[in-house]
Structure 1
């Protein structure tokens, strides 16, 4: 049932209003089954709405009760007319709006002639949606839709033409759903890649089963071509995820095929790492009734190899900074060895490879800049790449712990995203990155590859954008770009990765000079502003390291949200810090 004769008039009305708030696999220990996909949705009688609600309140309460997903959103269905409760099929995504959504009556010329029907305009600011794959897709937009209500035979108003899908407020979404990282791997290495997803939070006992379901559904659409999934598309559960009497969580898989032990170890890592945020139990991994990895039945996160080594700088590397055309140690303040530290080059910006062995340097060259790439402390090769400006370089991680990186990226003159690769002869050659999906976005002023290599964070016209990095034999493509927190972050000047799924940004804003943002854009946390002197100029971050930000007075460090910024003991005005990566 869709819009009737009032639709055209109401559409005009909705374009004019402004957004405002208004009124079981058996084992010896007899495992207990943990509910699967619909866990957290216990069957229970849903109470009828309060008697005597007016049409505006009916629509508001319908939205408020959408926080309860139990029994196919039975709590919000209670506000629909009797027959519609059984037949309504909302679309698969869930829209998230700001808390101050509004319900107002449409103008009289948009109202039905029948006095027992009223049209209510539901309006708010949509901040994103929960997609069918349980990933959050950020995107700020005005949300406006007409909702028709009718007085029933008992005198109560009920909705007869609801919104197309579930609408939920930010606060309610944050309460009802738990963010969980599901893990895959970088395409050509054992670097883990985090894929943020959201599952119903209650009851907590059902979380492990819901996380396993998400993992077996594969990567989210935004990362589908950017990661490798050793578990594969054919894997399913042989029976329910169960909790045995001895406390082990039993995950019985099937459909994994005859993969080598190494691949099965990667599968184990995917399951165990994905579950570590929702259970402290040992994980018993089975494949067709036998241990997934021969000789290793039960797992804890501590049993896994250090897969994060490839995507985390060594603790012995203190970081670097550019100061007055030279590169100095962020730890000691001393110039580094080689021409980049001695002053033989006029350094504009630079990047150190994640293992510390290599350096990419943008140097001033007359009216423009050029790029040099080589071993740390040595004279680098001058790459056949030049322009008026280049973003600070960013390294792709190497394929193994004992290897060097063979790829570094930069953006030339705000438009040309370029990767520089080392060929079989050891020469650094350039190749344009396919950034067609960003063509209309504007000028790119910063680019940072994630340290697992699967994503890129960019600053485009002061906005924070994240895209997947898709690789094939012909090159690399930036795919599925998404603007994060676009209503709050409008003057970003620099960005870096704290970890797999968290970014930190520096802005020119007095209101939000430094902020932490989840990679999907749902969460934003502002750092303390004490001692900082906006505008910020640059920022760097890395796993387990303090944040270092540069303002016009020098360098400042902070460890956590809320911590007061303290002066960096080696910072000077004009310094630009950077950790390896």
Structure 2
């Protein structure tokens, strides 16, 4: 089955809801025998929604749908297992999974087929594990990676007194037996909502997001309490932890988060401020709760041991993903006929001059630019260039010091080279010959880059993207997307050992075909890949590989690939609206929320270096636009 057929098949969805239950009745229904939600309405002001029960299914297909949503929202393992078992035939009442973990899977359903008996059906499902949903909403890497097929068999209940349908587990098929608790990715999205906790990086200079899944069954008050407790007491997820500072071990949340007089009042123990001041703690809380404040609360008021300490207002810039609504758009550039061109002004960039040694009286005719990256302030450029003999260099120059000669690093002869990306404003990351290298802005003219520590051994890296926070990377490793945090910023940087490959087989057909990656938001990636029949595609997913959606299908003819991707990351406080650019051998293109625009015909006629200008050429040719990118 090819990728197009898979994408057009129905993805199994679970019904929405989640709950915190202390008991389950014979049909998996909720029995509250302890403290439940703290009162109030559920998400959106309505009653909390819960997963559908076995008896709610009116067809075999619906039963399978509900079955793949059964474990959602139940925090007690015994209650969760009882709810899952309630969907099984009475003969399977003692069914036991290999463990009690909730395995989130992308599920693509085949045709529901009736068996020889009129009251039995079977459905083959291709599943791809996305991760293991842990307490606290963490999504750990899957324990059984890789897609596989299962068959779920359904029988109408023989006993009319109980009615409905059951999942049959005692009729073996050709596929693996059902031995795990499964939650469909669609059900994850309906029963849980993504929320980021925010931790200060190890230098205490900026916040780093930690994506979690919070039950939609929680009302507003309980959700806020849960998020603050996770932030302060439970700490960051393992893959993010090496890059951030957690609260001291004796830190606790005191009482509930309450809304009063336009504030959310958060009361913490004295230990929470042992390693940072109250303003930084307040900023963490304000960003962690920023989606909760739309209901009317304007600020976060921090208390320490019930003593008022700070009302948090000046916090936005602590998250580097945030951009002021009044900020100018990021500059957009590309390489046109081996020169750096602004796609905003349609002019050769003035930064070309800082890439040229000062003893040269004019632009070096041998200065052939292949790709580049520009800092957020637009003043410093790092460019990969080649000379007439084909030798490549990384050149760094800045308009902030126009009299200085550019720095020049010689790159390994004949090695493949990625597009450079800035890590902060002080160093550049570049893949050279399959190895991730770091180049300092303060290095020597003929210096060499340093190999980044902790990169996957024996693997070929082809591209790197830096998250807006500057502490997480997305690498393309042997054509697969590898997410990893930076655990040490001392040059060369050191990558954490808790990196994870993203599970993308089902939407992408094969994980080995990803050719470009960029951050479209602080927790979302944009991907370019080659699909079936060799055609290029563009899609996006979150940093776990979940919540995948197609952006552009068949962006070019067969046989070409997406060579580069760059995006203007969405600010966490703005509505989601993707703006990105990509290139293929057929040209460079821009993606906006409503259309895809080719740059062809919008650029000046830029003559190749060393040739007559386009204006004097008898037959000027259309410029070749490549490697478009936004400023950092």
TM-score greater than 0.5 by the shorter chain: yes
Alpha-carbon distance, 1:525 to partner: 2.7
Secondary structure of the corresponding residue to residue 202 of structure 1 = coil
Alpha-carbon distance, 1:438 to partner: 5.3
Secondary structure of the corresponding residue to residue 278 of structure 1 = helix
Corresponding residue for residue 617 of structure 2: none
Secondary structure of the corresponding residue to residue 549 of structure 1 = strand
Structure 2: tracts of 5 or more residues without a match: 1-8, 13-35, 171-176, 357-362, 571-577, 605-622
**Are 1:236 and 2:246 matched, yes or no?**
no
Could you state the TM-score of these two structures normalised by the residue count of structure 1?
0.74
Counterpart contact for 2:354–2:397, Cα < 8 Å: no
Q: 1:329 aligns with which of 301, 326, 342?
A: 342
Corresponding residue for residue 563 of structure 2: 537
Q: 1:375 aligns with which of 386, 398, 415?
A: 398
Q: Matches of 1:499 and 1:51 in 2, distance apart?
A: 38
Corresponding residue for residue 432 of structure 1: 451
Alpha-carbon distance, 1:177 to partner: 0.8
Deviates more, 1:491-500 or 1:193-202: 491-500
Counterpart contact for 2:147–2:506, Cα < 8 Å: no
Write out per-residue CA displacement over residues 197-239 of structure 1, whole angstroms, 9 at most, x where no aligned residue.
111112442322222233232211111102233x344322112
- Taking a change above 3 Å as real, the CA distance of residues 144 and 558 of structure 1, as seen in their structure-2 partners, is closer
Q: Matches of 1:196 and 1:52 in 2, distance apart?
A: 36
Deviates more, 1:563-572 or 1:513-522: 563-572
Q: Matches of 2:114 and 2:131 in 1, distance apart?
A: 25
Q: 1:516 aligns with which of 540, 546, 561?
A: 540
Write out per-residue CA displacement over residues 166-223 of structure 1, whole angstroms, 9 at most, x where no aligned residue.
3112222211110112112333252222221111112442322222233232211111
Q: Matches of 1:499 and 1:50 in 2, distance apart?
A: 39
- Taking a change above 3 Å as real, the CA distance of residues 411 and 43 of structure 1, as seen in their structure-2 partners, is closer
Corresponding residue for residue 350 of structure 1: 372
Alpha-carbon distance, 1:396 to partner: 0.9
Q: Matches of 1:134 and 1:143 in 2, distance apart?
A: 27
Counterpart contact for 1:421–1:430, Cα < 8 Å: yes
Q: Matches of 1:103 and 1:579 in 2, distance apart?
A: 47
What pairs with 1:537-576 in structure 2 (closer than 5 Å)?
537-543=563-569, 546-560=579-593, 562-565=594-597, 567=599, 569-570=602-603, 572-576=623-627
What pairs with 1:108-127 in structure 2 (closer than 5 Å)?
124-127=126-129
**Are 1:207 and 2:216 matched, yes or no?**
no
Number of residue-to-residue matches in the alignment: 520
Q: Matches of 1:484 and 1:361 in 2, distance apart?
A: 33
**Are 1:580 and 2:618 matched, yes or no?**
no
Q: Tell me how large the CA RMSD over aligned residues is.
A: 4.6
Corresponding residue for residue 430 of structure 2: 410
Secondary structure of the corresponding residue to residue 96 of structure 1 = strand
**Are 1:176 and 2:188 matched, yes or no?**
no
Corresponding residue for residue 7 of structure 1: none
Counterpart contact for 2:54–2:63, Cα < 8 Å: no
Counterpart contact for 1:338–1:379, Cα < 8 Å: no
Counterpart contact for 2:354–2:398, Cα < 8 Å: no
Counterpart contact for 1:35–1:240, Cα < 8 Å: no
Counterpart contact for 2:72–2:187, Cα < 8 Å: yes
Corresponding residue for residue 187 of structure 1: 202
Deviates more, 1:174-183 or 1:93-102: 93-102
Corresponding residue for residue 148 of structure 2: 142
Alpha-carbon distance, 1:289 to partner: 0.9
Counterpart contact for 1:329–1:335, Cα < 8 Å: yes
Counterpart contact for 1:464–1:486, Cα < 8 Å: no
- Taking a change above 3 Å as real, the CA distance of residues 287 and 164 of structure 1, as seen in their structure-2 partners, is farther
Corresponding residue for residue 5 of structure 1: none
Could you state the TM-score of these two structures normalised by the residue count of structure 2?
0.68
Secondary structure of the corresponding residue to residue 453 of structure 1 = coil
Q: Matches of 2:383 and 2:126 in 1, distance apart?
A: 47
Structure 1: tracts of 5 or more residues without a match: 1-18, 23-32, 107-117, 398-404
Q: Matches of 1:169 and 1:102 in 2, distance apart?
A: 17
